A and B are shown apart, each in its own frame.
Chain A
Amino acid sequence: AQSVTQLDSQVPVFEEAPVELRCNYSSSVSVYLFWYVQYPNQGLQLLLKYLSGSTLVKGINGFEAEFNKSQTSFHLRKPSVHISDTAEYFCAVLYGGSQGNLIFGKGTKLSVKP
């Protein structure tokens, strides 16, 4: 079955600390990988995506993620977080090609404290 697992439902960190939000997915031959961010009472905004090529992808707001095929992971990282990064982060995996099914993880609430 296709599934996306975000192991941490909440991640509290202090400002300027590094952070990693974890995402694992069920194995498949063809996947595209995405990270979205959701601020309160807003829709989803694309942070970054992996389609092919370099396994390290850089996104907006200083975030990056690394695709690890052997571990079926796509963890999101930022070396130094800001208060404004406080939001909900969703990992999503597109199975079955560009017109396939987009499966979301349950989300990770990142809380940045001063």
Chain B
Amino acid sequence: GAVVSQHPSWVICKSGTSVKIECRSLDFQATTMFWYRQFPKQSLMLMATSNEGSKATYEQGVEKDKFLINHASLTLSTLTVTSAHPEDSSFYICSARGSRTFTNTGELFFGEGSRLTVL
């Protein structure tokens, strides 16, 4: 099956520093990757959609200069939280979608999530 891996699973950082979270598709090429943020006891909020080799498309209200997304290859996307503050503490989840030849069902494959705590 399709596997998506996120790293790190947990990260604690000081306020003002930047944190990078990686999302990798291990056994398929992800033409599109999605980044979600999840607050406690709430649903997933789509932050941005990234296509390989293109700039990410951000959802309304998401600061693109704060949440930098790079999708430089078909198996890796990164989310960098710049100048992190305590209010950025959250659970970040990535997901990936393969090409039509890989899956024509539109199914997304999710990473394990990354818990960010900003002190």
Which chain A residue lies CB-closest to B45?
A: A104
Cβ-defined contact, A49 with B113, below 8 A: no
Contact, CB under 8 Å: B44 / A104: yes
| Consensus secondary structure, chain B interface | loop
Per-residue contact bits, chain A 36-54, to B (CB 8 Å; 1 contact, 0 not): 1000011111100101000
Encode B95-107 as 1/0 by CB contact (under 8 A) with A.
1010010011111
A49 with B107: in contact, given A41-B113, A104-B43, A107-B42 (CB under 8 Å)?
A: yes
| A77-114 interface code vs B (CB 8 A; 1 in, 0 out) | 00000000000001000100111101011110100000
Tell me the nearest residue of chain A to B99, going by C-beta.
A99
* Interface size in chain A (residues, C-beta < 8 A): 23
| Known A-B contacts A104-B43, A107-B42, A109-B41; A43 and B6 likewise in contact (beta carbons under 8 Å) | yes
Q: Give B contacts to A, CB under 8 Å.
A: 4, 6, 32, 34, 41-44, 91, 93, 95, 97, 100, 103-108, 110-113, 115
